[in-house]
Amino acid sequence: HRLAFEDYKRGLSWGTYMDRELRQRLAESAMLMIAGQELSAREKEEVYQFTVRELRRSVASSPRDVKNHMYLMNFLNRVPGADPGGAADESLKLFEEAKALSASRPQLYYEAGQAYFTKRDFAAGFAMFQKAIDLNPAPSESHMNMLLASIIGDRADLTTREAKALEDLGYEFTLLDY
């Protein structure tokens, strides 16, 4: 992991047209690095800070590319660092910017829902997950997100509804799901 992180830093120091793509790969790798056992707490913090800074650069350099917002939102939601509330607030700010550009993208609502859940605002979180379902009820991912939210938010009515919706879509639960 240390060598990979150094490679990302070196690659991004060159300032090429591939920086946004490299930052997206960095975000994916950084989640694994931070979750793993190889790096010290100090090294994990360095990876976190560097990744957030680089993802913010992607948003700043291409503010109309919603994908950049989504990568940063996803990273902040999955790896909130020492300040989960602050990470959730930043994710929600990014959501508002991205929604103005692409309001029909369900993934934005998944990320906003997760940020609201981090803030323990379950009503707002459920509203975001429901909006994703309303935008397109066919994908099982939207129903699975609501199902998981309903378990976390202790909403048995929604758990039953979403399990039924997934069953109606032909989704088969596996041991991994449980």
* pLDDT for residue 141: 94
- Burial (CB count within 10 angstroms: exposed 0-12, middle 13-18, buried 19+), residue 109: buried
Q: In Å, how far are 22, 54, 118 from 124, measured between CA atoms?
A: 33, 29, 11
This prediction's pTM: 0.92
Gap between the Cα atoms of 30 and 176, Å rounded: 24
* Range 67-96 burial, b when 16+ CB lie within 10 A, else e: bbbbbbbbbbbebbbeeeeebbebbbebbe
From 108, 158, 105, select the one nearest 135 (Cα to Cα): 105
* pLDDT for residue 2: 85
Average pLDDT for runs of 10 along the chain of length 178: 91 93 95 95 96 97 96 96 94 98 97 97 98 96 96 96 96 87
* pLDDT for residue 174: 87
* pLDDT for residue 70: 97
62 token code pair: 């291409």
Sequence-distant (6+) residues with CB within 8 A of 92 are: 112, 115, 116
